[in-house]
Chain A
Amino acid sequence: MGGSASLLPREALGEYQELTFLTKQEILLAYKRFSELLPKEERENACSARVPKSQILTLPELRANPFQHRICRVFSTSGNGDDSMSFEDFLDMLSVFSDSATLDIKSHYAFRIFDFDEDGTLDRSDLEKLVDCLTGQGEESRLSNAEMEQLIQNILEESDIDKDGTINLSEFQHVISRSPDFVRYDVLQLHGLSRGGLSGGFAGVGAELWVVVGQGYPVRGNRVLRELCKILSRTG
């Protein structure tokens, strides 16, 4: 936890804990990783700096991901369309992909990631691009035109309830909720900040995750500590 020159201000840490699904340790770790992406001179105020898209795409979780561009686009709040991410955008991304995010949030963001033309629905072209991403872009493993046509026809038949030719958010969420696997085994999840995930080049980071907080309780206990505090604040 210590050792980094610029730490997160305490109030901000508390706010982030309340507003995202991440624990305190995970937020600190995210802060550390985010500041590593910045050039040295900007690391002092990492909270307000923006990291360009090219840097974000060097993260191991996003490097080989076919949805990397869409993820950057969806989570970036930059006004000039360059898909740069601030620290809060980065936290947003990790929060949505974390273990404890609700199904609602995950399906909402999954919809936005799959909506390639950003018109609020998944129409045929969106679905085609989605299937292309899934099966590997531009390589041998692509579906033929006839197969693609059949697949998209089936998907629309199954999910388009109001028969307007597109899948909107409610229909998408309805389809997703039908799959028990989505609910139980976390799809839309990065290894993120769990142990063993953020390895490679960040020595000592794994150990830090399990560093005890305060009185010596592991990370899991910390989240429950927060919940307990909430309950106590409500009652007394």
Chain B
Amino acid sequence: ALHTSFHQLIQEQSSLMEAALELEMQERSREPGQDEQHPNFSPTTLRILASMPSRTIGRSRGAIISQYYNRTARLRRRSSRPPLQQLCRTARPSLRHYDLETDPTRATLEEKRSLLVKELLSLSPGQRSHMLLTVPLSLAEKRTLRWVLSRQSQPGRAPHRTSSSPCGRSKDCIVLVSLGCGLLSLLAAAQPWHYALKQIGGRFGSSVLSYFVFLKTLLIFNIFSLLILLVFVVAPQAVYPPPSASPRPFTGLELLTGAGYFTHSLLYYGYYSNVTLNDPCASSPNGSMCPHTAPQFPYNMPLAYVFSIGVSFLLTCVLLVYSMSRSFGESYRVGSSTGDLAVKVFCAWDFKVVQRRSVKLQCENICTQLKELLAEQRSRSCSLSLCQRLGRTVVLLLAWVLSLSSVLGCVVALRYFSEHMHVQEAILLVLPLVVSLLNVLMPHLYNLLATWEKQDSPVTEVYVACWETCVGQDLYRFVVMDFIFTLLDTLFGELVWRLILEKKLKRNQKPEFDIARNVLELIYGQTLTWLGVLFAPLLPAIQTLKLVLLFYVKKTSLMQNCQSPSKPWQASRMSTFFITLLCFPSFLGAAIFLSYTILSVRPSETCGPFQGLETMYKSGKTWVQLLEKSNPNITWFAWVHQYLVENTFLLFFMSGVLLAVIYFNIQVVRGQRRIIRLLKEQIANEGEDKIFLIQKLHSVYEQRERRA
């Protein structure tokens, strides 16, 4: 009988319920002191409990086979099931054809296996082999399944037990495969650090590995910028060198100071010409003398310069945003805001650790970490008194004040020094105090050396008239100094410290690899490169070289001198943090500085590709005007330039679109969180139902026993 309303049902059941309630209360009173987790169930109940699907899936072969049977059935059904709307009501029961004819949990192992085989046969060969590979059964079981499958899939032919190398079948196959293999081995060779990274990760864990992965990411950014600049700026200029004074003799000092021989070379802004290269009309402004030969490929150098820099920055921005979003997506999970103690316990053990001593060390580390987490949780849960809270706030404020004042002190000292040493751009970077002072002092020391060197040669002031070249030189020096100091720091911080610890203090503990400091040094170096790329187009090449050398130096020092960190970091969150730190203060600052320079600062008059222009951006504008004059058919281009690029409306529009996308994503995440919460409640309800049914079952069995 179909109940159309629950009212009738409740009335029917209420009479029964009173009797049942009495029974239940009786049962509960018989077990006063039992806790929920270990109830005193009868063996029959326990047997039934043990065969619940949620428990058997974790241990019995038959259950696994049934589960995978269901999975393959669902896979098949997904493609072949007609949508519900197409079936009329009376046809509903025929949907049962798509359900299982027999209940697989009640069948024997043989029947289950044959059901699974039947389902697997209906899949494509690729899906079938993938399914066989991923089913968590023993190898012997899989071989049996495979043999049965091969026998059933080709009933006429002899059973194929051979390995699947269809490559033996045809010659074209072999040729294609060997070509493919050649390409792939090239690709494998193109990832030269793949094995080194595995080695580091295996020995020191994923937190130290994240530093090296970050280094590799920076290298990729630099290589991209370098390629663009090399192809569009450096190479054309190298092919058509501008007329210049005789170059100065090369001494080894130039590698450090960047001045001298390097001043008037491809390395710096001053070398690049402000005319259109390869244009026969360029040398003579008078149009009548222009030979009417076939037009060769003219190359507008100023335009190429400013556009290449812009494009390389845009590309870096896109890559940064992409890697940031990817690492953020990997490390952030919706609805996982509850603690991660369970995850830490389940994923804590590193099975790669093999030596007895390392195993013991790992055990100690895990124990310490767990104790710390538990202590932290305990302290969080108990509320602090007012005095303690005040004390904590004072300490926090003091720490902030100290760090901010030290940063301000750094900045003031830098500004003082830079003003007194006549350096043009006071670079405001946030640095640790010692490194920043040293980095300021040393380049000026070398500047003195460079002036002394200049006094020797009779060449005139044209080499210093270009302020952009000066800035480029300064940044070059910064980059080189940063590299030297990183090397020194590695040497003293790790090698010498380890020797001291071992020999003098006789402690058997190596120094730890300081991930935070090293990452900040990398970000500093990269910021310098980005700041300087406008003034020294080959700076990414130097940075690339520096990063490659740094990788090997750091790796060697790590292997020889350091031990794994005692407090394992959550590596994926750290990578997100590094990339975010790279993007926001560092890249954004460089981009703002660059935009300011291109749009507002007056370039120097006597050298470089923007001589005589008001700002660097004007080169683009003059080009558009020239284009308009020469070819009146493409006024649309000028129109686009005037109304879209120059107009600020486009900027507002793009910001509006971006904000809309962000808002949409926030709403989606919020909705997902709500769904997760609802589903969790639903599952909890099901759990309660299960407990209720178990109790009922137990009471029924006990009654039966009492009666018998």
For the residues of A in contact with B, the DSSP-based class is: helix
Are the C-beta atoms of A143 and B370 separated by less than 8 Å?
Answer: yes
A155-B177 Cα distance, complex, nearest whole Å: 50
CB pairs A–B below 8 angstroms (13 shown): A20-B133, A86-B140, A88-B138, A115-B58, A120-B58, A124-B37, A127-B345, A158-B339, A162-B683, A175-B342, A175-B343, A189-B352, A225-B184
Contacts A121-B58, A147-B371, A154-B377 given; does A194 touch B198 at CB 8 Å: yes
**Selected contact of B126 from candidates A123, A188, A230, CB within 8 Å:** A230
Cβ of A127: which chain B residues have Cβ within 8 Å of it? 345
Chain B, residues 335-369, CB within 8 Å of chain A (1/0): the string is 01011111101111111101110011001101110
A234-B128 Cα distance, complex, nearest whole Å: 12
Contacts A168-B58, A187-B347, A195-B195 given; does A181 touch B572 at CB 8 Å: yes
Are the C-beta atoms of B125 and A218 separated by less than 8 Å?
Answer: no
**Selected contact of B177 from candidates A67, A190, A229, CB within 8 Å:** A229
Contacts A110-B346, A191-B354 given; does A215 touch B133 at CB 8 Å: no
Binds A, one of B281-289, B388-396, B468-476, B685-693: B685-693
Most buried by A among B58, B209, B339, B341: B58
Query: B383: shortest Cβ distance to chain A, in Å?
Result: 18
Q: Report the nearest A residue to B126, measured CB to CB.
A: A234
**Selected contact of A165 from candidates B37, B161, B195, CB within 8 Å:** B37
Verify if A114 is at the interface (C-beta below 8 Å from B): yes
Contacts A13-B163, A169-B54, A185-B571 given; does A142 touch B367 at CB 8 Å: yes
Query: B312: shortest Cβ distance to chain A, in Å?
Result: 29
Q: Which of B582-600 contact A (CB under 8 A)?
A: none
Cβ of B85: which chain A residues have Cβ within 8 Å of it? none
Verify if B684 is at the interface (C-beta below 8 Å from A): yes
Are the C-beta atoms of B687 and A162 separated by less than 8 Å?
Answer: yes
A127-B611 Cα distance, complex, nearest whole Å: 74
Verify if A15 is at the interface (C-beta below 8 Å from B): yes
Are the C-beta atoms of A105 and B134 separated by less than 8 Å?
Answer: yes
Beyond A143-B370, A151-B341, A218-B188, 6 extra complex contacts between A and B, CB < 8 Å: A20-B133, A115-B59, A121-B54, A134-B363, A163-B688, A180-B333
A131-B351 Cα distance, complex, nearest whole Å: 15
Q: Which of A195-221 contact B (CB under 8 A)?
A: 195-197, 215, 217-218, 220-221
Cβ of A89: which chain B residues have Cβ within 8 Å of it? 138-139
Are the C-beta atoms of A178 and B142 separated by less than 8 Å?
Answer: no
Q: Report the nearest B residue to A184, measured CB to CB.
A: B572
Query: A118: shortest Cβ distance to chain B, in Å?
Result: 6
Are the C-beta atoms of A17 and B163 separated by less than 8 Å?
Answer: yes
Are the C-beta atoms of B359 and A11 separated by less than 8 Å?
Answer: no
Are the C-beta atoms of A168 and B690 separated by less than 8 Å?
Answer: no
Verify if A224 is at the interface (C-beta below 8 Å from B): yes
Are the C-beta atoms of B351 and A187 separated by less than 8 Å?
Answer: yes
Q: Which of B152-199 contact A (CB under 8 A)?
A: 161-167, 170, 173, 176-178, 180-181, 184-185, 188, 195, 198-199
Binds B, one of A31-39, A49-57, A58-66: A58-66
Cβ of A163: which chain B residues have Cβ within 8 Å of it? 684, 687-688, 691
Contacts A19-B146, A119-B59 given; does A184 touch B330 at CB 8 Å: yes
Are the C-beta atoms of B363 and A161 separated by less than 8 Å?
Answer: no
Are the C-beta atoms of A64 and B688 separated by less than 8 Å?
Answer: no
Verify if B56 is at the interface (C-beta below 8 Å from A): yes
Q: Report the nearest A residue to B331, measured CB to CB.
A: A180
Are the C-beta atoms of A232 and B167 separated by less than 8 Å?
Answer: yes
Are the C-beta atoms of B571 and A181 separated by less than 8 Å?
Answer: yes
- B-side interface residues toward A, CB under 8 Å? 36-37, 50, 54-60, 124-126, 129, 132-134, 136, 138-140, 142-143, 146, 161-167, 170, 173, 176-178, 180-181, 184-185, 188, 195, 198-199, 201-202, 206, 209, 330-331, 333, 336, 338-343, 345-352, 354-356, 359-360, 363-364, 366-368, 370-371, 374, 377-378, 570-572, 680, 683-684, 686-688, 690-691
Cβ of B199: which chain A residues have Cβ within 8 Å of it? 196
Q: Which of A139-174 contact B (CB under 8 A)?
A: 139, 141-143, 147, 150-151, 154-155, 157-159, 161-165, 168-170, 172
Q: Report the nearest B residue to A76, measured CB to CB.
A: B138
Cβ of B342: which chain A residues have Cβ within 8 Å of it? 154-155, 158-159, 175
Are the C-beta atoms of A187 and B350 separated by less than 8 Å?
Answer: yes
Contacts A158-B339, A229-B167 given; does A172 touch B346 at CB 8 Å: yes
Cβ of A194: which chain B residues have Cβ within 8 Å of it? 198
Query: A3: shortest Cβ distance to chain B, in Å?
Result: 22
Cβ of B209: which chain A residues have Cβ within 8 Å of it? 185
Cβ of A29: which chain B residues have Cβ within 8 Å of it? none
Verify if A28 is at the interface (C-beta below 8 Å from B): no
Query: B197: shortest Cβ distance to chain A, in Å?
Result: 11
3 closest Cβ contacts across the A-B interface? A14-B163, A162-B687, A136-B363
Query: B97: shortest Cβ distance to chain A, in Å?
Result: 28
> What interface size band does chain A fall in?
35 or more
Chain A, residues 79-113, CB within 8 Å of chain B (1/0): the string is 00000001011011001010000101100111110
Cβ of B359: which chain A residues have Cβ within 8 Å of it? 64-66
Cβ of A187: which chain B residues have Cβ within 8 Å of it? 347, 349-351
**Selected contact of B140 from candidates A88, A157, A180, A236, CB within 8 Å:** A88
Are the C-beta atoms of B133 and A230 separated by less than 8 Å?
Answer: no
Contacts A15-B143, A105-B134, A162-B683 given; does A191 touch B202 at CB 8 Å: yes
A181-B46 Cα distance, complex, nearest whole Å: 37
Are the C-beta atoms of A135 and B352 separated by less than 8 Å?
Answer: no
Contacts A88-B140, A89-B138, A142-B367 given; does A64 touch B354 at CB 8 Å: yes
Are the C-beta atoms of B162 and A14 separated by less than 8 Å?
Answer: yes
Cβ of B165: which chain A residues have Cβ within 8 Å of it? 14, 229
Contacts A19-B142, A135-B370, A169-B57 given; does A164 touch B687 at CB 8 Å: yes
Cβ of B364: which chain A residues have Cβ within 8 Å of it? 136, 141
Cβ of A13: which chain B residues have Cβ within 8 Å of it? 163
A28-B139 Cα distance, complex, nearest whole Å: 16
Are the C-beta atoms of B177 and A120 separated by less than 8 Å?
Answer: no
Are the C-beta atoms of A181 and B363 separated by less than 8 Å?
Answer: no
Query: B660: shortest Cβ distance to chain A, in Å?
Result: 29
A191-B199 Cα distance, complex, nearest whole Å: 10
**Selected contact of A134 from candidates B176, B185, B348, CB within 8 Å:** B348
Q: Report the nearest A residue to B210, measured CB to CB.
A: A185
**Selected contact of A179 from candidates B339, B343, B355, CB within 8 Å:** B343
Contacts A124-B37, A181-B570, A196-B199 given; does A60 touch B354 at CB 8 Å: yes
Cβ of B570: which chain A residues have Cβ within 8 Å of it? 181
Are the C-beta atoms of B162 and A191 separated by less than 8 Å?
Answer: no
Query: B672: shortest Cβ distance to chain A, in Å?
Result: 14
A106-B444 Cα distance, complex, nearest whole Å: 58
Contacts A158-B339, A189-B352, A191-B354 given; does A233 touch B367 at CB 8 Å: no
Are the C-beta atoms of A175 and B55 separated by less than 8 Å?
Answer: no
Contacts A179-B347, A181-B570 given; does A225 touch B687 at CB 8 Å: no
Contacts A119-B50, A158-B342, A191-B352 given; does A221 touch B184 at CB 8 Å: yes
Query: A89: shortest Cβ distance to chain B, in Å?
Result: 7
Are the C-beta atoms of B58 and A169 separated by less than 8 Å?
Answer: yes
Verify if A228 is at the interface (C-beta below 8 Å from B): yes
Q: Report the nearest B residue to A95, measured CB to CB.
A: B139
Contacts A15-B143, A119-B50 given; does A232 touch B173 at CB 8 Å: yes
Cβ of B688: which chain A residues have Cβ within 8 Å of it? 163
Contacts A158-B341, A165-B36, A230-B126 given; does A190 touch B683 at CB 8 Å: no
Query: B242: shortest Cβ distance to chain A, in Å?
Result: 48
Are the C-beta atoms of A108 and B136 separated by less than 8 Å?
Answer: yes
A171-B230 Cα distance, complex, nearest whole Å: 54
Q: Report the nearest B residue to A19, measured CB to CB.
A: B142
